């Protein structure tokens, strides 16, 4: 487990040399892979639960928003190595060119996280096949977290795909609040009755018997049978942005950036009272705080390198994914502590620097032996505040000038190395480059 937690090299041999550098006879590559492939990945769920319990129960500095613990829930897709076994277990995107799992070139997994954006902590993590819906994963998050959340002021933040009367009533039954972006067809008729000029309104949804009968959860179904009304607050917002994209010149086949102006009309459902939370505050909560779960995925995939795997074994892949989630929580605690010490609101600690120091053997060994002291923690925080970025060795595969027929679709190869950048060749195809 310690090996999975702190591995970060471009190859597994590099990780073995790093983790077991004080051993006179380190284990072989096959031995390490074998042990990882038979480790029960459910143990990481217990570790994550223990970690969250310690962090929130030990009196450490914790951020709240008006007393609320924010929980942002969202999912993401992660590409996996090419493998017939992974095709069958996780599946992937099927289309006209690829109609069955056997024809898949790139299997993918669907991951989901319940994230505390104010404290940079992943509260719960799920890894499922590609076609598993986000809604049942959200419900699994909430069921797992319920013992931890009960008794706290909680605000659930979610994207438009998660909104449902079941979620709204579940939150009401447990004393939680929610803020969810509305799908275009969600209560469309009732929303249409509210004049467009009204940007903040309240309306009631009354469930009929057929609707209540379709609800699967017996507790929520019973609740709606007793009270079929749902009171919702509707907040509207119009905004625009410049969408960045790339295009290829016909003349020289070079890529260039293009920008498109996009206008958006968005609506949001919430249970937060208008007297305590203004319309502007609702918009800020959704677009700033909820969006931090996307930042969490960006750090997982690009800084912690979540999908940099070294095997096609599904058990080993699950172990690596969960280990990196635990590691990101450790980095998140230090990032949050450093952020509290920065006076300027325009600056953030260097997350990559925190990761780099955590990956040093001295710190990793101290954490493993439970001998890390406040002086070492403060040193990491000070380095993060200095905002100096150092790039690790072996970040790219140095195979420049190599001809390729097509652009690599995967960020990492099976060996864990990242693919180099490419540019269009004048003779067709692409050539790898170091800039």
- Domains delineated in the chain: 1-28 (no CATH), 39-311 (3.90.350), 396-435 (no CATH)
**Dihedrals φ, ψ of 403, to 5°?**
-80, 140
Cα–Cα distance for residue pair 12/34, rounded to 1 Å: 13
Is the pTM above the cut of 0.95? no
3-state secondary structure of 248: strand
3-state secondary structure of 60: coil
**Dihedrals φ, ψ of 309, to 5°?**
-105, 160
Length of the chain: 435
C-alpha of 254 from chain center? 33
Q: How many CB atoms lie within 10 A of CB 246?
A: 8
Phi-psi category of 217—alpha, beta or left, where left has phi over 0 and alpha has psi -120 to 50? beta
189 CB contacts (<8 Å, ≥6 apart)?
none
Cα–Cα distance for residue pair 404/355, rounded to 1 Å: 33
Looking at the predicted structure, is the pLDDT value of residue 413 above 80?
A: no
pLDDT digits (tens, 9 = 90+) for 17-72: 988 988 889 999 999 999 989 999 999 999 999 999 999 987 666 789 999 999 99
How far from 23 is each of 16, 18, 20, 384, 416, CA to CA, in Å?
10, 10, 5, 31, 24
pLDDT digits (tens, 9 = 90+) for 346-364: 778 888 888 988 998 888 8
pLDDT digits (tens, 9 = 90+) for 77-120: 999 988 999 999 999 988 888 888 888 888 999 999 999 999 99
Q: Tell me the pLDDT band of 428, cut-offs 50, 70 and 90.
A: low
Cα–Cα distance for residue pair 52/381, rounded to 1 Å: 21
């Amino acid at each position: 487990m310690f090996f999975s937690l702190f591995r970060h090299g471009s190859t597994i041999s590099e990780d073995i040399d790093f983790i077991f550098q004080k051993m006179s006879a380190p284990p072989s590559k096959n031995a390490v892979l074998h042990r990882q492939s038979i480790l029960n990945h459910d143990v990481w769920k217990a570790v994550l639960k223990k970690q969250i319990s310690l962090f929130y129960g030990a009196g450490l500095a914790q951020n709240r928003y008006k007393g609320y613990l924010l929980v942002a829930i969202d999912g993401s897709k992660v590409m996996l190595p090419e493998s017939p076994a992974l095709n069958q277990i996780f599946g992937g995107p099927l289309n006209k060119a690829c109609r069955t799992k056997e024809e898949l070139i790139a299997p993918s997994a669907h991951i989901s996280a319940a994230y505390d954006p104010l404290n940079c902590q992943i509260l719960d993590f799920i890894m499922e096949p590609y076609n598993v819906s986000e809604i049942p994963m959200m419900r699994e998050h909430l069921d797992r977290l319920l013992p931890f959340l009960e008794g706290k002021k909680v605000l659930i933040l979610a994207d438009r795909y998660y909104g449902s009367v079941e979620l709204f009533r579940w939150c009401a039954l447990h004393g939680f609040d929610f803020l969810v972006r509305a799908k275009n067809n969600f209560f469309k008729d009732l929303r249409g009755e509210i004049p467009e000029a009204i940007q903040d309104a309240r309306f009631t949804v009354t469930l009929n018997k057929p609707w209540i009968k379709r609800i699967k959860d017996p507790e929520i179904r019973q609740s709606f049978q007793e009270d079929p009304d749902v009171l919702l607050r509707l907040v509207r917002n119009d905004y625009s942005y410049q969408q960045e994209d790339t295009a290829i010149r016909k003349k020289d086949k070079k890529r260039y950036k293009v920008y498109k102006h996009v206008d958006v009309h968005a609506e949001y459902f919430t249970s937060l009272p208008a007297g305590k939370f203004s319309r502007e505050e609702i918009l800020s909560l959704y677009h700033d705080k909820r969006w931090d779960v996307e930042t969490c995925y960006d750090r997982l995939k690009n800084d912690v390198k979540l999908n940099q795997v070294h095997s096609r074994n599904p058990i080993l892949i699950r172990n690596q994914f969960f280990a990196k989630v635990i590691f990101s929580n450790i980095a998140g605690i230090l990032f949050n502590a450093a952020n509290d010490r920065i006076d300027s609101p325009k600056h953030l600690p260097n997350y990559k620097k925190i990761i780099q120091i955590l990956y040093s053997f001295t710190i990793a060994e101290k954490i493993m032996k439970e001998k890390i002291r406040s002086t070492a923690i403060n040193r990491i925080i000070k380095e993060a505040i200095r905002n100096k970025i150092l790039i690790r060795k072996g970040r790219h595969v140095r195979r420049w000038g190599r001809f390729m027929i097509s652009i690599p679709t995967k960020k990492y190869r099976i060996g864990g190395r990242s693919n180099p950048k490419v540019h269009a060749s004048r003779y067709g195809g692409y050539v790898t480059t170091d800039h």
